[in-house]
Amino acid sequence: MIYDLIVIGGGPAGYLGAERAGHAGLKTLLIEERSLGGVCLNEGCIPSKTLLHSAKIYDYARFGEKYGVTAKDVVLDHRTVIARKNKVVKTLVAGIRSQLKANHVHVMEGHAYIAGRSSDGYTVRVNDDTFIGRRLLIATGSVPIIPPIPGVKEGLERGYVLTNREILDIPQVPGSLVIVGGGIIGLEMASYFNSAGSKVTIIEMLDHIGGNIDREISQILLKNYQKKGIEFKLNSKVVEICDGAVVYECDGRREAVEADKVLMSVGRKPAVQDIGLENIGVEIERGAVKTDDRGKTNVPEVYAAGDVNGRYMLAHTAYREAEVCVNNMLGKRDIVRYHAIPSVIYTNPEVASVGETEESARQKGIEFEVAKVSMRYSGRYVAENEGGDGICKVLINKKYRNVIGVHMIGNYSSEIIYGAGLMIEAEMRVKDIKELVFPHPTVSEVIRECIFQFED
Amino acid sequence: MATPVIMPRQGQTVESCIITKWHKKKGEAVKVGDLLFSYETDKAAFDEEAKVEGTLLEVFFDEGDDVPVLATVCVIGQEGEDISEFMPDGKDASTAKDVAAGGQQQSAAESGSEMEVEGGDAAQEDGRVRISPRARNLAERAGVDYREATPTGPNGRIIERDIRQLIEKGQLVTLAARDEYIGAEGMRIGGTGIGGRVTTADLDSTKRDAHYEVPQPPVQEVKAGEADYEEVKLSNIRKVIARAMHQSLANTAQLTIHTSFDATEILAFRKKVKEQGERLGLANITLNDIILYVVSRTLLNHKALNAHFLDDKMLLFNHVHLGVAVDTERGLMVPTIYNADTKSLDEISREAKELVEACRKGSINPDYLKGGTFTVTNLGSLGVEAFTPILNPPQTGILGVDTIVQRIKEVDGKLVTYPSMGLSLTFDHRAVDGAPAARFLQELKANLENFSIFLAK
């Protein structure tokens, strides 16, 4: 059977690319090995959000006194939380399935393997069937990095060490949880399990948490977490995982922290193995499929989108990359711009950012100005966040006076940040944004307050 | 009572004049004899003086406006006087300007006053981009470069729908990138921003590319604050000359042939006139006058060169209306000596001098600047030995007069030197073939070399 397009991988890049291609009239086959929706939907973004929402409700109930609300005998039933998570995932996966169907995409379950190239196109084997695709979209995503630390492999095998996949399904809240890696996944899981009652310790190699987020915001987040009782071991390197404890090195000293469970969240790597990329000569660079800004690989009509290209590893980046790939397949020139991709950590408080940080701007040699205001400039924030210490920080290009970065910590940031992304994409200047009306009272007004710190 | 000032009619064929300068402003007091405004026709410039005293109550046209002759240009009177009766077409002052010819008409689809924007679109003849205010506002709001628009308005003006078209076509620019993008004259920058907009990053990378791609040779630097050129706006006359010259070369089949003649006799004659002319009451007859005289007679035997070539027909003139090229401060002017073939050498000489004087003063009646059937131009006085004059269509010939050089010829087995004067005849091969043109030159040469006998004829 010959398809116009074979999509390998049914995550955000794969299913959206297939939908768009099918909608445009390309005869499209989507092959997914595990479950439609990929990591994002099944073991990432969406399930973690359902857990975090339960934790938030629980926290509101427990700590409502300062708002004049007291509740007794508040219980977080982890089993119910997980059951609800599964229901949410099921609903959304079904939604994707029907969307694909509506766009006439054929969906196959199984492991796709690119066998080679013929005059008709690329041969892809799934289970015992063979299909030919005139074009390929590689959207195989990423897998967790499992560092070669003694005890990790064994720990994974007996269920003591978990990845993002397993931890979302553990039946009980562990008494103590050690999280290796203070990035987005680690921080979100720390937030839930801390609320759910675990004693959580985060071990991070760097001197700060949250990866590339603004350092000041990283500090504020750290303090908020510490206040909740989460422990941090920064500048610390895990050297061994024993039975019941994680051993790490800090300042040359070996220390150990007890753990009922260990979450391994040191990062993810593109899934480029065992799919036959080598059979058609797709170039791999630093473990990722190398693509240009149109999503093209070095092989004609072979595109790649999402985590597999090793660029940003965010579901919304994958969406856009897949759309760009399909547009280029259809002859519409389109490119992915990476400078205004928002990123959010759904902790409590939420962290959201888009564009350059002070650190990255300095590194790139961009001349910029920065302004910062407290979230307490927003009436709604004050009303809803007793003792909140959030901030909003805006960076502008000194020469053109347009916004190049916005960083926020405080709830609702996640829903506000897209507006900031729009400002960056549209290269709006300070004086342009000053003309915009923000709804009052909302937290989004802090952006306006921040903008008015700048001269035109 | 208020008095209207009308645009004078300068010659029967002039239909409009361009106001080049206003010397008084609306509301200023004027006395009789005060300069009101300067204006020019295709070829000459004039000043208009106030003929009554009072206040300049209203001005209907601006500098650069092409005003129909006899139209009311301004009104002088006492303050507070009603001037409505002088409003062109009974309209108000701002719309009165719309009656000015050329590029000034208001389109029915558009309202508001006319505006012209300095710009760099070479597509416009005079280097300006004409755009309606509505279109310009829209372009600015949308962040598009209006110079890219294809004008479909009257007289090549960009109107709103052109900008809409441009937005559809899409060279959009982000807000931050706009100023620099518009400043980047002639640079074509690809957009990588949202919807293909040109972003600041595109500007920066284009600059970088330009820097890397073109190796910069060491340039002798212009001193800071010192422009390396002076921008001079073309005068109306310069524009007319430019257009005429280019059209001549573009639309005819002109070529130039050269000859020379022994100027001994005309030099002797000139010497005689110089010595005794005053006593005889003769004008100061120059060598050029002598050539004009001989040409005016010789041409009658070569009517194809005393003619207008009009594509499907030729007008062969029975009299010679001789154009004389004159160098003036404003540029080249060519007044005509009408019926030169009927005028004596002395008359030709006197008339030529008067016309030259009037041209140089700018007071020439424009009717003298047309109607020529053949032209004589002289660069000989500037030492030029040969050149290729440009035809003045529909004329079919123009004679260039060159300088005198000493040459050698054999006389009775001996080499003698003689003063040799060059003649360069440009003719339109569509009208005249090479041999007849050469025959005209041959006869001209013979007549000039035997000038004393020619005078006797």
Active site residue A440: yes
Start-end of H helices in A158-260:
164-167, 184-196, 215-227
Task: Check whether the bond before B68 is cis (ω within 30° of 0).
Answer: no
Most B-contacting residue of A400, A430, A435 (CB-CB within 10 A), to test interface = A400
For B69, how many CA atoms within 13 A lie in the half-sphere containing its CB?
12
- For residues B355-372, one letter each, b for 16 or more C-beta atoms within 10 angstroms of the residue's C-beta and e for the rest, the string is bbebbeebebebebbeeb
- Specify the pLDDT at position A4: 96
Co-location of A381 and A298 in the same domain: no
Most A-contacting residue of B173, B180, B194 (CB-CB within 10 A), to test interface = B194
| Mean pLDDT value of segment B13-32 | 85
In a domain, A58, yes or no: yes
Rounded distance between C-alpha atoms, residue A135 and residue A140, angstroms: 15
Q: Does residue B254 contact residue B427 with C-beta atoms inside 8 Å?
A: yes
Residue B202 pLDDT more than 90? no
Residue ending a domain, among A235, A266, A297, is: A266
Task: Check whether the bond before A342 is cis (ω within 30° of 0).
Answer: no
pTM of the predicted protein model: 0.59
Co-location of A305 and A418 in the same domain: no
Number of independent structural domains in chain A? 3
Rounded distance between C-alpha atoms, residue A142 and residue A318, angstroms: 12
Does B177 lie at the interface with A, CB-CB under 8 angstroms? yes
Query: What is the per-residue DSSP string for B403-419?
Result: EEEEEEEEETTEEEEEE
Co-location of A9 and A130 in the same domain: yes
Residue from B4, B22, B183, B163 nearest B76 by CA: B4
CATH of residue A358: 3.30.390.30
Co-location of A276 and A261 in the same domain: no
Co-location of A161 and A126 in the same domain: no
Does B198 lie at the interface with A, CB-CB under 8 angstroms? no
Does B190 lie at the interface with A, CB-CB under 8 angstroms? no
**pLDDT tens digits, residue range A156-192?**
999 999 999 999 999 999 999 999 999 999 999 999 9
Which one of A335, A337, A400 has the shortest CB-CB distance to B200? A400
Identify all chain A residues contacting B200, using CB atoms and an 8 Å cutoff.
397, 399-400, 402, 427
- Specify the pLDDT at position B116: 39
Co-location of A135 and A9 in the same domain: yes
CATH of residue A17: 3.50.50.60
Co-location of A164 and A98 in the same domain: no
**pLDDT tens digits, residue range A328-344?**
999 998 999 999 999 99
Rounded distance between C-alpha atoms, residue B163 and residue B184, angstroms: 20
**pLDDT tens digits, residue range B377-414?**
999 989 999 999 999 989 999 999 999 999 998 888 89
Look up residue B253 and give its two tokens.
């089949």
Look up residue A315 and give its two tokens.
């579901």
B37 SS3 class? strand
Residue ending a domain, among A266, A283, A304, is: A266
Co-location of A156 and A239 in the same domain: yes
| First and final C-alpha spacing in chain B | 64
**pLDDT tens digits, residue range A187-238?**
999 999 999 999 999 999 999 999 999 999 999 999 999 999 999 999 999 9
**pLDDT tens digits, residue range A112-136?**
999 999 889 999 999 999 999 999 9
Does B181 lie at the interface with A, CB-CB under 8 angstroms? no
Residues 6+ apart with CB under 8 A from A375: A381, A385, A388, A389, A390, A391, A392, A408, A409, A410, A443, A446
- Specify the pLDDT at position B217: 54
Q: Which domains does chain B have, with CATH numbers?
A: 3-99 (2.40.50.100), 116-212 (4.10.320.10), 237-456 (3.30.559.10)
Co-location of A324 and A402 in the same domain: no
- Report CB contact under 8 Å: B199, A427: yes
Residue from A202, A195, A179, A188 nearest A228 by CA: A195
**pLDDT tens digits, residue range B211-248?**
554 455 555 555 555 667 888 878 878 888 888 899 99
The label of the residue with tokens 């701007």 reads: A361
Ramachandran assignment for A38, one of left (phi > 0), alpha (psi -120 to 50 degrees), beta (any other)? left
Question: pLDDT-based confidence at A368, cuts 50/70/90?
Answer: very high
Host domain of residue A247 = 152-266
